[in-house]
Structure 1
């Protein structure tokens, strides 16, 4: 989260959600705006893929089932600025 506070505030504000996906806890970080990739991280912090965003809005194509397969959504953090 430190990197977010050092950067200019995004519009809309960045949010991080936890989900269960393929039997594991993952963390989904929303994109700030416009044609930016969202990020999906493993519990150990490893970047798994970009589920959505980018020029097409469909991410990087590496986890196309994320939106349908994810469960147990919980908001973990939202930029309070």
Structure 2
């Protein structure tokens, strides 16, 4: 999905965390009004933790940044 788009600024990254007892995947926001995404292990959207017009995401996982653990950078777009 990300590689089918143009290069983001800042470059796209995908992180893995543990959150609420499960493995999740976080894609940080890449522009002013575009929210970040938190995905489950089936690539279903759990929530939008931050970003968007108000800057606070969709409000469905307000504790994500406080409660996440075991950060791993899985992928970073190195295209120029």
Shorter-chain TM-score category?
Answer: over 0.9
Partner of 1:45: 43
> Matched residues in 2 for 1:80 and 1:20: separation?
25
Aligned partner of 2:57 among 59, 62, 67? 59
**Greater share of helix residues, 1 or 2?**
1
Flag structure 2 segments of 5+ consecutive residues without an equivalent: none
Flag structure 1 segments of 5+ consecutive residues without an equivalent: none
Compute the RMSD of aligned alpha carbons: 0.8
Partner of 2:8: 10
Q: Which runs of 4+ in 1 moved over 6 A?
A: none
Superposition deviation, residue 25 in structure 1: 0.3
Aligned length, in residue pairs: 79
Q: TM-score, normalised by structure 1?
A: 0.92
